[in-house]
Amino acid sequence: MDGRIFNLLVESFPKMLVPCLKMTIPLTLISFGCSLVIALVLALVQVAEIPGLKQLARLYIWIFRGTPQIVQLYIIFYGLPSIGVMIDALPASIIALSLNAGAYNAETLRASIQAIPKGQTEAGYLTGLNFLQIMRKIVLPQASRIAFPQLFNSLISLVKTSSLASSVTVIEMFSVAKKIAGITFEPFILYCEAAVIYLMVCTILTLVQDVCEKRLNIAWS
């Protein structure tokens, strides 16, 4: 590695790290939080087997799991203005990431809820609890422990997927990497550096996941 490449890497690292901290990570966390709300509603609607709503939930999941996320993002940001709905780049990215992740997380939550023995739900009804009370007090605390690893994997995946926001003019880490690569004509080196930063963030999240899982195992043991 010659001096020019080394200096380029040193100079570009903070330029990419700052938007990672200020945009990529917040975008990921906000989208993931919204996706959990969507997922919980979809999962409960399916478990409760509410006529009509269950079919709508399945249709939603089918659509968002069966179409490319970049297409969903383009429809929201570039497509909706053609029918008079204007959404800025950042909100459009949050909406697209949330809706997509919500479909996958809904299936994780649904499977986790259904993994809880039905006897516990029946016992809840016998004590006078309604469906929502049973979910909140009995089922969801146990189901969340089952779902935790897969949901955390979804969060880690969302860190990488957030790079799609660069395609709709959101100034996040990868868009900065593309800009610097366009100026310096060193795409290989700069994209590798961007990959290293993504790897660092995901590694930290993986360590956090391991710690949380150990604490959950201790709490439930």
pLDDT over 90, % of the chain? 91
pTM of the model: 0.93
- Just give the CATH number of 3-220: 1.10.3720.10
185-221 per-position pLDDT tens digit: 999 999 999 999 999 999 999 999 999 988 887 777 6
pLDDT of amino acid 1: 59
Distance (Å, whole) CA 88 – CA 34: 18
Residue 140 has pLDDT above 80, yes or no: yes
Which pLDDT score is estimated for 3? 84
Question: pLDDT for 78-120, tens place per residue?
Answer: 999 999 999 999 999 999 999 999 999 999 999 999 999 999 9
What is the C-alpha separation between 168 and 26, in angstroms, rounded?
17
Report in angstroms the alpha-carbon separations of 64 from 10, 59, 73, 94: 40, 9, 11, 15
The full set of domain ranges for the chain reads: 3-220
Give ∠ CA 32-36-41 in degrees, rounded to 5: 150
d(CA 162, CA 140): 28
The DSSP string of 141-193 is HHHHHHHHHHHHHHHHHHHHHGGGGGGGT---HHHHHHHHHHHHT-HHHHHHH
**Residue for token pair 């009509």:** 52
Helix (H, G, I), strand (E, B) or coil at 199: helix
Q: What is the mean pLDDT of the chain?
A: 94
pLDDT in the model for residue 29: 97
pLDDT (0 to 100) of residue 163: 95
Q: Using the predicted structure, report yes or no on whether residue 45 has a pLDDT greater than 90.
A: yes
